[in-house]
Each structure stands twice: as structure tokens, then as C-alpha cells.
DNA sequence: GTTAGCACTCGTCAGGTGAGACTGCTAGAG
DNA sequence: CTCTAGCAGTCTCACCTGACGAGTGCTAAC
């Protein structure tokens, strides 16, 4: 019951048990630990230690005469230990190399994130994802209007870091191409270099200020810009790869069918993932959410390893989702590596 | 053994059996058919009929003292029957209404297809998909160049039917924005209204013809156009929705885990789906591929209902994928409805 | 505090049994 | 010649059983 500090031996037994279980997927017996753990004590002593650990809630027995299996709390202890030791030894290099290879020399930001999710999947064999920062704080570089049929216009916005986004708006009346391109030039000259949210506010302010706009061109440009920037808070694009790993039939079903369903739904309705992460992403570095620690009861039974990249208001996230029984050590270093690589890319591009 | 024409009674028994099995998912007994089929004969007679049907390969018994289950051949017979009767009674209206509601009044082509896959999923509760026609035959309407950082340029191409596609190219040297927009104007004026493949050929021809281009602007424009149109054969965008339905735990596992994996992989590596369909899509109307009729052995155990839309060279497809035990009648009318709706949209937009 | 040894518990597996579900067959009726 | 009633046969499923083995908890001795 007492969650007090564990003795060194107890810690080592727990760590070894978790590691063994992650590798084998089968309850770990005291005899096996005795052999593997390398501290010179007999299985009987280990059994006493295990009984303690069970009292404290770190391990449990599937049934009376089975070995021990880590609980979520046990995983948590193990992971915290890892996070402490790992902090120094980042081996991001191979992840970063693969990411550069995958994404090409100078990709669009979306391509980079898509590649990141793919690389995370490749390295971890679990579902990998990458989430873009909210567009609000992106630095406006350029806008372009492409006329479509009727009164519709395709708006292409480019922000720093090759962050391209597009949107279709309906202008109500047909605007000649020449007017569109002049409007674009005006906006590019006027607002280039500002954060998108500020551009939006500035546009609205000007429209308010000068009720009657004598300059027809400026009126068109500002109105177009306002419509374009209206929905700027909402999206945050999400990239996911490796959903097929959920059906991996390695040994037994790694996650329950209902959990699988929830995850697949998340793959489709990507914004759910964003909402999920908002709750967990605070500090820097890698965060791990294990099994029952999830708020959503459907997600107990799977773990989330996630790291934020970028700074201040312009933060995104990369990570992986897999069964609670995953190779945390590898997962953590891979996710960490990916976050560092994406952050570096952002810095270099600016 | 003889696949000869079935007697009216035999047909009705088979149809009733398939329908019952699709509804219940359990082997159908002679007594149940006797009750449901409504032809005034006893279960013993039904049993004789069933023995015949089994000889001919339309049904089988999971084990000696179980009811009958349709084979793929049985489903095939049932579906062919449906296709015959259904041809007249298209009730596309509700599908089309939902599609218009979902996609909005005048969507981009991609949005339309994305909505179509979603609506197919909604109506059938199976995986819905929509595939765009190859870009080659799209009618070129407009091109626009947006400068990115360094020597990279974002190219936005608009084809008829609000078919927008984009691509990043590296020009090697930085080109000033004004030159880019002039190049775009030149290309728009010169090639508007031609099929993209023809535009590509024309561009290449001109570059060949006039080795030394005195007009700097034309040189830039043509070179940009060539690079842009290089990879025009490859893509064919694919939209898929409802993968989570694969994990539906309605009754037992509807598809095997390995089939599920194959399908999930197909969801990720979408081009596989395109290759799959190329083999089946020939005539007009709805095509159904059932279980073992698939070439890919991994896909036995699931069925594909698909219909082409559009005409001639400019054909795409919509459809659904689900377990062999699916509501074919509904599936067929829904897929048919979606194909008709998408085709109508294409026609209206042109 | 540690260890050896032993009794005990519990899940798993193979084998066996009874009930229930349907069929195939056969003999007889229409 | 077609249909039907009835019955024996066969198979699955659920349940129980006992032997086995894995692994523990406990205790007494070091």
C-alpha cells in the first residue's frame, strides 16, 4: 500500500520483470527473474519481493499459479525510470536520417509531417502520428487567388517553413482574374511577415475603420482576406500512418477489438486525436500515457508516447500509439528523435 | 454438377436462403425455409432441393447436422438475380440528396469524392471508397505559380469540374514572382481548354522545335510546364472512409484478421486499390466481386461492389468493400446511386 | 535476512458424455 | 412420378472430469 521509495533490489526486480514481459508477452515467473536479473539471490527471495510489489500494485497475477505481469502502475514506474536515464542519451540520428531520406531535401511542411508519421511507424511498428501547429501563429508569407468556375476562388496561403494551405471561398460575384492578382499583390506587400492571426485582426480593423472604401481594389482584397482567414483556428492537420499494425497478429490480440475500433475511428476523425493530446501535452520532452491513465475508458489497454516540437505558441506534436505492452525504451527514443528532427527542420527553414 | 437452369422453386429456395443467411448470419435449416419461403411444401421437400443445390455448389453445410450456408457461387447467383431486377428501379435519390448535403452546393472535385466515400460508408456500414479519373484527360483550365522559399515553386493546376491539384517543383534557380505570373498568363492563354496530356505533348514539342528560345519568358513558362506535367500519369487520388467498420463486432468476426490487415494496408497504400479495380472495371453499371472470385487470395472472404462513373477516357469509380455476407441489394443500389450522382455532378459542372 | 523444500492451488488439456439441431433416407400416400 | 412423414444417424456444443505441470506461499532451518 505504501507507495514509498523502493529498495534498489526491488527496483531491479521490477525493471527486469517489465522488460521480460515486454519481450515475451507471458507472465514472468520468479525462477526466470532469478536467472535473468543477475542479483545473487534465489527464487524464493524474488518471490518475497514480488509479493511486496504486488501489494504495492506494481504487478499482478493473471491467476493464482501464474507468474507476474506488470500493471499500468508498474509500466509507469519503468517508464519514469527510462525517462530519467534517457534524457542524456538521445540517439535521434538514425531517425532523423531516415526522415530526411523519406521526406526529401526540402519538403513542404505537410510532406515533412506525413513522412514523420511514416518513419515513426517504421521504427516502432505501431501507429505513428504527427500534428501540425495551429495555423494562427504561422508567419504569413504569401497569398494567391486562383479563379475557379463561377464566383468561386481557390485561395493558396503560404506561411514560413513551406507551410502551404488552401481553401475555396465563394465571393458572391465573379471577380476578373486581373483584379484577383492585384488583390494578392496588395495583400502580400501589406501583410507579409506578420503572424496570420495578426493579419486577420489587421484586416478586420481596416474594414471596420474605413466603412466606405473608395478604393475598389482594396475593398476586394480585404474582403477576400477576411473570408480566407475566418476559419483559421479550427483545423490543425493531422497525419497518421501504420493503422494496419493494429491488426498485427504477432501473438494473441495485442489490443481488444473495441479498442481497435476506437483507434480506427480516431484515424478517420483525426480531430479526436488532437483533442486527446491537448490534455497531455504540457512540458517539454517526451510524455507517456499508459493504459488506465487515459481519460477515455476506450483507450485503456493502449499507450501513447508523444513529444511536442517547436516553441511557444507554434507547437505541434509527434508520437505513437500502441498496446500497453510496447517497447517503451525504443518508442521513447524514436519519438524524441522525430520531435528533435522536425524542430530542427523548422528552425533551419525559417 | 450440371449448372443448367434452375427450376423456379429451386431459385426461390436459394434466394430465400441467401437472404435469410445475410440477415441472421447463421446456417439456415430446411424447416426455417419451409416457414419463410412461402411455397406450400414441407421441409422434407426443401431438403431434397437443398441437396440438389449443394451438388451444384450453390450452398454448403458447415458440418453434417447444420443448416445450409451460401457459397460464393450461391451469392453470385443471388447477386446476378438482383442486378437483373434492379436495373430498372434505381433509387439513387436519397443517396444523391445526402451527397449534395454532405459535399455542399459546389464543392471541389476532391471534396465531392471524399464525401462520396463517406456517404457510401454511412449508407452501407462498410468501407466506402471513391477514385478520381486519371488526370491525363482532364481539361486544362488554368495554372498558377506560387513562389516558395529558395528556388521552389508551388504549382496549382485547375481542370474542368473544379479539379484542383498541386505540386512542388524545384526550378534550379530563383525566378522572380513577376516572371512566374507572366509565365502563368502565357500558359493559360495558350493552352486553356486542352486535355492535360495534350498540353504536355504540345509543350514538349515546342521545346524540341525551337532549340534556342529567344524569348526568355516563353522558355521559362514552357520549362515550368514540362516539369509540372511530367508525372501526370501516376497519381489518381483515392478516398476511403469507414475503415473502422472493419472492426465492427456485430456478430463474430465478419472478416478474418489477416483479411482485415490486407484491407487496412490497402487503406494506407491506396494505389493497391486502384490496381485491384483496374482488373474488374469494364462495362457500365455495378460490378460485384465475391469472395474467391478475387485474384488476390488475401481478399477471399470479402466482397467488392463497385461502379464506374464518367465516360470514355475520363472514368473513375466508387464502391464499397465488406464481408461476403453483406446486404447486396442495398449495397448495389447505394453504389449505383453514388455513381449516378457523381456522374451527374461532373456533367453539370462542365 | 536468506534459502531450501514441500504442500497447495489453479489453469490447461485430453477425453468422455448428454442434449439439441438437422439432415438423409426410406417407405408409403396422393 | 412427386411429395411427405417419421426416424435413425451424425455432428457440434457445453459441460464435466481427472491428470499434469507450472509456480506460488509458507515454514523451518541456516
pLDDT tens for each residue of B26-78: 999 999 999 887 777 889 999 999 999 999 999 999 888 889 999 999 999 99
> Are A222 and A246 part of one and the same domain?
no
> Are A278 and A175 part of one and the same domain?
no
Final residue of a domain: which of B229, B247, B266? B229
Confirm whether A176 is domain-assigned.
yes
> Are B224 and B95 part of one and the same domain?
no
CA proximity to A142, closest of B229, B148, B47 = B148
DSSP-derived 3-state class of residue A336: helix
Confirm whether B75 is domain-assigned.
no
Name the residue in chain A with its Cα closest to that of B262. Answer: A244
* Distance separating alpha carbons of residues A208 and B208, to the nearest angstrom: 55
Q: Which residues pair with B145 in a beta bridge?
A: B155
- Contacts of A234 by beta carbon, 8 Å cutoff, 6+ apart: none
Confirm whether A79 is domain-assigned.
no
> Are A245 and A109 part of one and the same domain?
yes
Please give the share of chain A, as a percent, with pLDDT higher than 90.
45
Q: Is pLDDT larger for residue B275 or for residue B232?
A: B275
Where does residue B109 fall: left (phi above 0), alpha (psi -120 to 50 degrees), or beta otherwise?
alpha
* Distance separating alpha carbons of residues B186 and B192, to the nearest angstrom: 10
> Are B98 and B188 part of one and the same domain?
no
> Are A52 and A91 part of one and the same domain?
no
* Distance separating alpha carbons of residues B128 and B317, to the nearest angstrom: 11
DSSP states along B62-129: SSTTS-BEE-HHHHHHHHHHHHHHHTT----HHHHHHHHHHH-SS--HHHHHHHHHHHHHHHHSSEEE
Task: Grade residue A3 by pLDDT with cuts at 50, 70 and 90.
Answer: very low
- Torsion A341-A347-A348-A350 (CA) sign: positive
Name the residue in chain B with its Cα closest to that of A241. Answer: B268
The helix-helix angle for A30-37 and A43-55 (nearest 10°) equals 110
Distance A65 CA to C12 C1' (A): 12
Confirm whether A77 is domain-assigned.
no
Question: What value does the mean pLDDT take over residues B214-240?
Answer: 83
> Are B211 and B304 part of one and the same domain?
no
Count of structural domains within chain A: 3
Confirm whether A1 is domain-assigned.
no
The helix-helix angle for B8-24 and B43-56 (nearest 10°) equals 90
- Edge to edge, what strands does the sheet with A152-159 contain? A140-147, A152-159, A163-170
> Are B171 and B203 part of one and the same domain?
yes
The helix-helix angle for B30-37 and B43-56 (nearest 10°) equals 110
Closest by Cβ to B156, choosing from A154, A257, A261: A154
pLDDT tens per residue across span A271-328: 889 888 887 877 778 999 998 899 888 888 899 999 999 887 788 999 999 999 999 9
Closest by Cβ to A257, choosing from B142, B247, B261: B247
Final residue of a domain: which of A229, A253, A276? A229
Contacts 24+ apart (CB under 8 A), B251-259: B251/B25, B252/B25, B253/A257, B254/B322, B254/B323, B254/B325, B255/B301, B255/B302, B255/B323, B256/B301, B257/A247, B257/A249, B258/A249, B258/B298, B259/B298, B259/B299, B259/B300, B259/B301, B259/B302
> Are B253 and B345 part of one and the same domain?
yes
pLDDT value at residue B320: 96
Evaluate whether A225 touches A202 at the Cβ level (below 8 Å).
no
Angle at B238 (CA atoms; ends A127, B156), nearest 5 degrees? 105
A-interface mutation test, from B149, B249, B250, most A Cβ less than 10 A away = B149
Task: Grade residue B96 by pLDDT with cuts at 50, 70 and 90.
Answer: confident
What range does the domain containing B289 cover? 86-133+236-349
Q: Read off the C-alpha cell for A219.
A: 475593398
Strands B152-159 and A59-60: unpaired
Q: What is the CATH number of the domain that holds B100?
A: 3.30.450.40
Final residue of a domain: which of A42, A69, A96? A69
Q: What is the CA radius of gyration of chain B?
A: 26
Nucleotide closest in space to B29 (CA vs C1'): C22
**Chain D positions with any atom < 7 A from a protein CB:** 3-6, 9-12, 21-27
Q: Is the confidence at residue B132, as pLDDT, over 80?
A: yes
Question: What value does the mean pLDDT take over residues B297-324?
Answer: 90
Amino acid at each position: 500500500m505504501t507507495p514509498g521509495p523502493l529498495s534498489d533490489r526491488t527496483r531491479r526486480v521490477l525493471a527486469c520483470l517489465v522488460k521480460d514481459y515486454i519481450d515475451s508477452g507471458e507472465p514472468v515467473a520468479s525462477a526466470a527473474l532469478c536467472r535473468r536479473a543477475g542479483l545473487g539471490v534465489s527464487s524464493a527471495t524474488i518471490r518475497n519481493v514480488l509479493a511486496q510489489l504486488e501489494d504495492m500494485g506494481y504487478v499482478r497475477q493473471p491467476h493464482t499459479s501464474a507468474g507476474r505481469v506488470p500493471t499500468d502502475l508498474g509500466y509507469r514506474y519503468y517508464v519514469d525510470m527510462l525517462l530519467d536515464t534517457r534524457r542524456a542519451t538521445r540517439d535521434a540520428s538514425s531517425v532523423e536520417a531516415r526522415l530526411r531520406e523519406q521526406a526529401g531535401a526540402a519538403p513542404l511542411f505537410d510532406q515533412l509531417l506525413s513522412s514523420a508519421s511514416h518513419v515513426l511507424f517504421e521504427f516502432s511498428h505501431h501507429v505513428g502520428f504527427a500534428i501540425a501547429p495551429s495555423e494562427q501563429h504561422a508567419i504569413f508569407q504569401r497569398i494567391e487567388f486562383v479563379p475557379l468556375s463561377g464566383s468561386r476562388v481557390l485561395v493558396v496561403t503560404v506561411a514560413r517553413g513551406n507551410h502551404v494551405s488552401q481553401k475555396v471561398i465563394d465571393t458572391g460575384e465573379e471577380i476578373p482574374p486581373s483584379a484577383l492578382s492585384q488583390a494578392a499583390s496588395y495583400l502580400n506587400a501589406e501583410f507579409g511577415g506578420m503572424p496570420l492571426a495578426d493579419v486577420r485582426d489587421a484586416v478586420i480593423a481596416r474594414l471596420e475603420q474605413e466603412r466606405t472604401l473608395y478604393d475598389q481594389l482594396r475593398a476586394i482584397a480585404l474582403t477576400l482576406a477576411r473570408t480566407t482567414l475566418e476559419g483559421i483556428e479550427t483545423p490543425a492537420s493531422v497525419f497518421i500512418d501504420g493503422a494496419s499494425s493494429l491488426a498485427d497478429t504477432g501473438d494473441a490480440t495485442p489490443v481488444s477489438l473495441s479498442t481497435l475500433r476506437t483507434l480506427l475511428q480516431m484515424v478517420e476523425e483525426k480531430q479526436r486525436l488532437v483533442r486527446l493530446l491537448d490534455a497531455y501535452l504540457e512540458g517539454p520532452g517526451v510524455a507517456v500515457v499508459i493504459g488506465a491513465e487515459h481519460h477515455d475508458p476506450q483507450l485503456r489497454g493502449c499507450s501513447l508516447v508523444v513529444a511536442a516540437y517547436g516553441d511557444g505558441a507554434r507547437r505541434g506534436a509527434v508520437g505513437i500509439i500502441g498496446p500497453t505492452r510496447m517497447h517503451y525504451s525504443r518508442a521513447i527514443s524514436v519519438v524524441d528523435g522525430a520531435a528533435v528532427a522536425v524542430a530542427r527542420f523548422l528552425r533551419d527553414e525559417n
